[in-house]
């Protein structure tokens, strides 16, 4: 399983004068270029710490699943390479939970993300 990342959805916010503004969704570019990608396929690796509630996640991006299979990573302008988070005590440290929390982190960064 992986994560399909794509341009985030535009959202409404307010500026410093409390005026409504549109916050554009974050686009994904090949690092060092002006080439915008429609989407990328992200694969995560995670570490479940012995405390039972902490997970560290790192990820790599690929143009699509076929490029993942061939090991052909694509470097993007996504400015983070991983996340760490505390899960609820009622949750298990598992791949499914790591993926769900990763989705939330990617969305916080302004991207659209779905588990595929």
What would the DSSP string read from start to end of the chain?
--EEEEPPPPEEEE-TTS-EEEEPPPPEEBTTSS-EESEEEEEEEEEE-TTSSEEEEEEEEESSHHHHHHT-B--BS---SEEEEEPPTTS--SHHHHHHHHHHHHHHTT-EEEE-
What are the CA-CA distances from residue 116 to residues 36, 52, 70 (Å)?
21, 26, 18
Residues 46-99: tens digit of each pLDDT: 999 999 999 999 999 999 999 999 999 999 999 999 999 999 999 999 999 999
Provide the domain count of the chain: 1
| Mean pLDDT rounded to a whole number for the chain | 95
User: Considering the entire predicted model, what is its pTM?
Assistant: 0.88
> Which residues span the domain enclosing 67?
3-115
Residue 114 pLDDT = 97
Q: Tokens standing for 105?
A: 């982190």
């Amino acid at each position: 399983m992986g994560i399909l990342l794509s341009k985030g959805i535009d959202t409404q916010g307010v500026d410093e004068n409390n005026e409504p503004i549109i916050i554009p969704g974050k686009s994904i570019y090949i690092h060092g270029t002006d080439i915008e990608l429609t989407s990328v396929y992200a694969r995560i690796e995670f570490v479940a710490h012995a405390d039972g509630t902490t997970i560290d996640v790192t990820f790599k991006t690929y143009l699509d699943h076929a490029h993942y299979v061939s090991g052909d990573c694509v470097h993007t302008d996504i400015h983070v390479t991983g996340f760490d988070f505390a899960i609820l005590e009622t949750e298990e440290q598992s791949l499914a939970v790591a993926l769900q929390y990763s989705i939330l982190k990617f969305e916080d960064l302004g991207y659209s993300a779905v588990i595929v």
